[in-house]
Amino acid sequence: MAKTVFDKEMFLDLVVNFIPLFILLFFIVGYTVYNPFGIDTTFRSLQYALIVTPFIMLTILTYLSAKAIGTSERDAPVYLPGGATVDGAEPVEEHEE
Amino acid sequence: MQITGQLALTVVMGLFLVVIAAWLAQIEDWRSYTPIGSGGATGESGYVSKEKPAGISRWLTTVDHKDIGLLYGAYGVIAFVVGGLMIMLMRIELLDPEMTLLSNSFYNSLLTSHGITMLFLFGTPIIAAFANYLVPLLIGADDMAFPRINAIAFWLLPPGALLIWAGFFPLGDIVPAQTAWTLYTPLSAGVGGGSQANAGVDLMILGLHLTGVSATMGSINFIATILTERGEKVTWANLDIFSWTILTQSGLILFAFPLLGSALIMLLLDRNLGTTFFAIEAGGTMLWQHLFWFFGHPEVYILVLPPMGIVSYVLPRFSGRRLFGFKFVVYSTLAIGVLSYGVWAHHMFATGMDPRLRASFMAVSLAIAIPSAVKTFNWITTMWNGRVRLTTPMLFCVGFISNFILGGVTGVFLASIPVDLVLHDTYYVVGHFHYIVMGAIAFAGFAGLYYWFPMFTGRMYQRRLGKIHFWTWMIGSNITFFAMIVLGYGGMPRRYATYLPQFATFHQVATLGAVLMFIGGLVWTYNFVVSWLEGPKVQDGDPWNLREDGMYTNEWQWFENKQETALADGGDEEEAVTDGGTTEAEAEAEAED
Amino acid sequence: MDEQPGLSDQYRRASPWPLFVALGIPIAEVGILFDVFAVAVAGLLLFCGSVTGMLRESGYAETPWRPLGAFAILLFVVGGTLAFTDVNLVTRGYAIITAGGLLAAAGIGGELFVPKREAV
Ligand code: HEM
Ligand SMILES: [Cu+2]
């Protein structure tokens, strides 16, 4: 666990999940600033819970999966996805795409 | 009278158990008259035929993931045909505005059964077919983590189907359910007139419950398999995309289906034993809807993620280059998995729920569109400047993308509250989800069936017929579902056997598309049956010439090894050759396979 | 397990039990839900018996008798709850208890009278 697996390239890959996170954040802020439906504590808190929960869950899952993928990338040879057990498979070079 | 009935039933059930016990005793005793290791030299090396009994028993007793995959596949295809024939009757009824061919109540029954058949008896099982056959091969595992549970999960499905269809069989006064696939209470709780209190509804709910148990068992198995049974070289960093989608899908199933199961049991108790979970004065009308859609929306992603995996997997093979942004696709798959639990009430925007909550569900529904859109761009970019080979599986993949875009865009519109309030419960919704369910999910399923046909059967299908199948379906589905979108804009409500005359034209157009798809379906059936029986044998382990592009993958490697072993043995299991040194009895047994 | 070779020992990739586990569940469900005594009992016997067969086959249990006994106890508890408490589903409870009784008889009988090696 010497070097962190979260380097710049990893962050680029994770952008894909930052976008929905950002949209959720946008609505969290938006509903705070603009609230046409009046104050009702129960429903207000439910309203936030319904957006905040997916936000947190998505953050956690993204973190965990990124860590799992990053760690295996660092510690083991990376083959073509689905191609590791092909006869004479060679590890692929670093950059995909 | 009553007593003799009971007695007769007891005798019947007793006999039934005795027959089973006798069969078990006989089959478990096999060994006493089949000397082990007979067949001399080849006895040890013929790897498949020595692991399973012959004939029909093989299929009844198998716990091999490949056999179970084939069973799931056969089951899914049969259900697809049944559901397809149901809808053909309905589409013909809809040719004219009046009630002509079918009674309204029979139409409702078909509607209910069509939906449930396609989602639970075709969609989920056909995905399980691919997953069972391929995932262990793709991740370098010997088999699933729990092979017997795997077999149980499959065998729950045929009784499930019989129960779901029970109302259509001539069984006394049991009539088919007319609740629609969503089973909304209080209607489905047996309240009101009509046939809603009939036992046919109970049987259907039981059948649904069984398929749910089956899916849950399967998902536990897949999660355990992918987490623990991966081969040494298969790491998270090179796990293939199809297995990723199956892993995510299994996670979704694990949280969604048990909830459906519990809700269904509550419904059964309400119907039969006098509980009041869903009574107006207790749970109210909304409780069922919340429970159902908390399952229901994840269910649609349960159905779409693995097909997305198939497309992500197959499309690059015929584009001559790797999937663009592989990790984007992985992370967005996971994102869809999580977010799909936060959007369920977009099916309930029109119910008068609290506007604040509604707004939240809209927010998450819009957020979930991003990961789906990202994948679309990845697929398109993968083809861009690639060496595209328009084989039948590739055509189905491209068709998938096209239809998925239309289905997805209409979905995003529906996710916006003001738009949904206008379009809810119209044919627009029907068009939306059919673009996805038929246009995308089924297309991807067929892409997979064509792509792996050589592996499943050892033979090649007729390419021309495959292309005819694709084009009839591509054109047919777009005619039908686009007509539905137009009908929805016009205000045609869904789930009716009759309609106002002004909708007739587009209904007729929709039926035309359905007929086209029906013809395509016939072509496909003919092609697969004939090719399976007498198509040209696949000669090598690389029928798609993937090696040329460096795109060869694990499952074909397995296939190649199998082919080579079969050659060395003088025949594979299906084509037992008697001169391989086997005894006559065994050769006969193998030939029966 | 080695002394009791059956289908599943000869053929690594086959087992006769899953089919019947899967059949037992719907039969028992239908029987209990619609309160049809014979169907409920038969379904429960089929299910519990097949699970037991599977446990033995996969080596989790040496003989089928103990698992049968365990199932019997379970069914007694469930059936008793249905029949003798406020739940008040008497006939269904009796069906479950009957199935439990038959399983218990098989389990106890097997434990006492069947010589160790010829099980099943
Ligand atoms: C791109 C993301 C998607 C969005 C934003 C979306 C949105 C919606 C919305 C808002 C509705 C409710 C319409 C109404 O009843 O008024 C709906 C219905 C439906 N959607 Fe989607 N959808 C999406 C993707 C999918 C996918 C991938 C599937 C299938 C695999 C699907 C299947 C369905 C089904 C089956 C219904 C109808 C349910 C019913 O009322 O019977 N949707 N969709
Ligand atoms: Cu939804």
Asked whether residue A22 is domain-assigned, the answer is: yes
Residue B154: which of B195, B197, B121, B194 has the closest Cα? B121
B391-416 confidence digits (pLDDT tens): 999 999 999 999 999 999 999 999 99
> Per residue in B176-232, pLDDT tens?
988 899 999 888 888 777 788 888 899 999 999 999 999 999 999 999 999 998 888
Which ligand is closest to the CA of B368, given by its number?
1
Return the minimum-mean-pLDDT range out of B122-131, B189-198, B282-291.
B189-198
- Touching partners of C (3+ C-beta pairs < 8 Å): B
Of the candidates B96, B196, B73, B148, the one whose C-alpha atom is nearest the C-alpha of residue B446 is B73
Neighbours of B472 (CB within 10 A): 21
Residue A54 in any domain: the answer is yes
Residue indicated by tokens 């536990």 = B220
Report cis status (omega within 30 of 0) of the bond before B186. Answer: yes
User: Are the CB atoms for C45 and C61 separated by under 8 Å?
Assistant: no
Smallest CA separation from ligand 1 atom 34, residue: B433
Cite the DSSP H helix spans in B94-169.
104-116, 124-138, 147-155, 157-164
Output the 3-class SS for B51-65.
CCCCHHHHHHHECCH
Q: What is the pLDDT of residue B170?
A: 86
Residue A26 lies in a domain: yes
Report the residue from B235, B364, B554 with minimal CB separation from A82.
B554
Q: Which residues pair with B564 in a beta bridge?
A: none
Q: Rounded to the nearest 5°, which phi and psi values hold at B459?
A: -130, 170
How far, in Å, CA of B566 to CA of B525, rounded? 28
CA distance B70 to chain A (A): 21
- pLDDT at position B45: 33
> CB–CB of C23/B159 below 8 Å?
yes
CA dihedral B221, B225, B228, B231 (to 10 degrees): 170
What is the reported pLDDT for B252? 95
Per-residue pLDDT of chain C (120 residues; tens, 9 = 90+): 333 444 545 556 778 889 999 999 999 999 999 988 899 999 999 999 999 988 888 888 888 888 899 999 999 999 999 888 888 888 899 999 999 999 999 988 888 887 765 444
* Neighboring chain C residues of B36 at a CB cutoff of 8 Å: 10
- The contacts of residue C76 (CB under 8 Å, 6+ apart) are C97, C100, C104
Contact B189, B263 (CB under 8 A): no
Count Cβ atoms within 10 A of the Cβ of residue C58 and give its class: 0-12 exposed, 13-18 middle, 19 or more buried. Answer: middle
Structure tokens at B499: 């309609």
**DSSP run (H or E) holding B267:** helix B241-272
Alpha helices in B38-123 (DSSP H): 55-61, 65-93, 104-116
Q: How far apart are CA B79 and CA B214, in angstroms?
A: 16
Give the pLDDT band of residue B292 (cuts 50, 70, 90).
Answer: very high
Of B517 and B355, the structure prediction assigns the larger pLDDT to: B517
Task: Enter the DSSP assignment of A2.
Answer: -
Tokens of C84: 């003798």
Chain A residues inside the 8 Å CB shell of B338: 54, 57-58, 61
Percentage of chain B surpassing pLDDT 70? 91
Which of B323, B360, B558 is nearest residue A50 as measured by Cβ atoms?
Answer: B360
Cβ–ligand 1 distance for B332 under 6 Å, the answer no
DSSP notation for C41-106: HHHHHHHHHHHHHHHHHTTS-SSSHHHHHHHHHHHHHHHHHHHHSTT--HHHHHHHHHHHHHHHHH
CB atoms B64 and C37 under 8 Å: no
What does the alpha-carbon distance between residue B464 and residue B392 come to, in Å, rounded to a whole number? 9
Helix ranges (H only) for B320-354 are: 326-339
More confident residue, A7 or B11: B11
Least confident of A18-22, B278-282, B395-399: B278-282
Alpha-carbon distances of B274 from B267, B284, B402, rounded to whole Å? 10, 16, 49
Residue B555, token pair as written in the block:
């499952």
**pLDDT recorded at residue B46:** 35
Q: Using a 6 Å cutoff on CB, does residue B439 contact ligand 1?
A: no
From chain B, the residues in CB contact with A79 under 8 A are 233, 238
All domains of chain B in start order, with CATH: 65-539+548-562 (1.20.210.10)
User: Is the Cβ–Cβ distance between B428 and B414 less than 8 Å?
Assistant: yes
CA B461, CA C22: separation in Å to the nearest integer?
Answer: 34
Residue B482 confidence (pLDDT):
96
Contact C16/B62 with Cβ under 8 angstroms? no
Cα-based distances in Å from A23 to B319, B366, B368, B504: 33, 8, 9, 42
- Binned at pLDDT 50, 70 and 90, residue B36 comes out as very low
CB-based contacts of B585, cutoff 8 Å, min separation 6 = none
- Give every CB contact of residue A57 below 8 A, 6+ residues apart in sequence: B338, B341
Work out the number of other CB atoms within 10 angstroms of the CB of residue A93: 7
**Would you say residue A89 lies in a domain?**
no
> How much is the pLDDT for B33?
37
* Contact status, residue B563 vs residue B541, Cβ threshold 8 Å: yes
* pLDDT value of position B32: 38
Give the separation between CA A81 and CA C17, rounded to whole angstroms. Answer: 37
Within a 13 Å sphere around the CA of A84, how many CA atoms are in the beta-carbon half? 22
pLDDT value, residue B51:
61
Task: State which amino acid sits at residue B89.
Answer: L
pLDDT confidence band for B567 (50 / 70 / 90): low
The pLDDT of residue A3: 60
Q: For ligand 1, pick from B117, B249, B292, B300 the residue to mutate: most ligand atoms within 8 Å of CB.
A: B300
Say yes or no: CB of residue B433 within 6 Å of ligand 1. Answer: yes
Q: How far is A72 from chain B (nearest CA, A)?
A: 6
Which range, of B77-81, B308-312, B571-575, averages the lowest pLDDT?
B571-575
pLDDT, residue A96, reads: 45
Does A1 score more than 80 pLDDT? no
CA distance A53 to B440: 30
What pairs with residue C14 in β-bridges?
A: B62
B459: which strand partners?
B537
CA distances from B64 to B51, B53, B171, B210 (A): 9, 12, 36, 22
Quick one: which of B174, B184, B556, B280 has its CA closest to A89? B556
Mean model confidence pLDDT for chain B: 87
Chain centroid to Cα C96, Å, comes to: 11
Nearest to B174 by CA among B109, B250, B82: B109
Residue B119 has pLDDT above 70, yes or no: yes
pLDDT reading at B296 higher than 90: yes
Q: How far is B202 from chain C (nearest CA, A)?
A: 9
SS3 of residue C14 by DSSP: strand
Across the strands, what pairs with B62? C14
Q: How confident is the model at residue B461 (pLDDT cuts 50, 70, 90)?
A: very high
Q: Is B347 in the pocket of ligand 1 (CB under 6 A)?
A: yes
Task: Check CB contact under 8 Å for C38 and B10.
Answer: yes
Going from the Cα of B408 to the center of ligand 1, the distance in angstroms, rounded, reads 9
User: C73: which residues sit within 8 A by CB, 6+ positions away?
Assistant: C100, C104
C110: chain B residues, CB-CB within 8 Å: none
On whether the CB atoms of residues C80 and C87 are closer than 8 A, the answer is: no
Query: Are the CB atoms for B223 and B251 separated by under 8 Å?
Result: yes
Q: Which atom of ligand 1 lies closest to the CA of B441? A: 30
Angle at B239 between CA B340 and CA B215, to 5 degrees: 45
Ligand 1 atom nearest residue B412's Cα = 5
What are all long-range contacts of C54-57, with beta carbons under 8 Å and residues at least 24 apart? C54/B148, C54/C15, C54/C17, C54/C18, C54/C21, C56/C1, C56/C4, C56/C119, C56/C120, C57/C1, C57/C6, C57/C8, C57/C15, C57/C17
Ligand 1 centroid from CA B52, angstroms: 44
* Per-residue confidence band for B525, with pLDDT thresholds at 50, 70 and 90: very high
Number of structural domains chain A divides into: 1
Residue A18's domain comprises 8-75
Provide the 10 A C-beta neighbour count for residue C86: 5
Instruction: Pull the structure tokens for residue B147.
Output: 């092979």
Q: Is the pLDDT of residue A65 over 70?
A: yes
The pLDDT of residue B136 is: 92
* Cross-strand partners of B208: none
Kindly tell me the burial class for residue B64, based on how many C-beta atoms sit within 10 Å of its own C-beta (0-12, 13-18, 19 or more).
buried
pLDDT value of position C12 = 65
Residue B491: band (very low, low, confident or very high) from pLDDT cuts 50, 70, 90: very high
Lowest-confidence pick of B350-359, B466-475, B568-577, C40-49: B568-577
Measured distance CA(C117)–CA(B306) in Å, rounded:
48
Q: Which one of the ligands is nearest to B181 CA?
A: 1
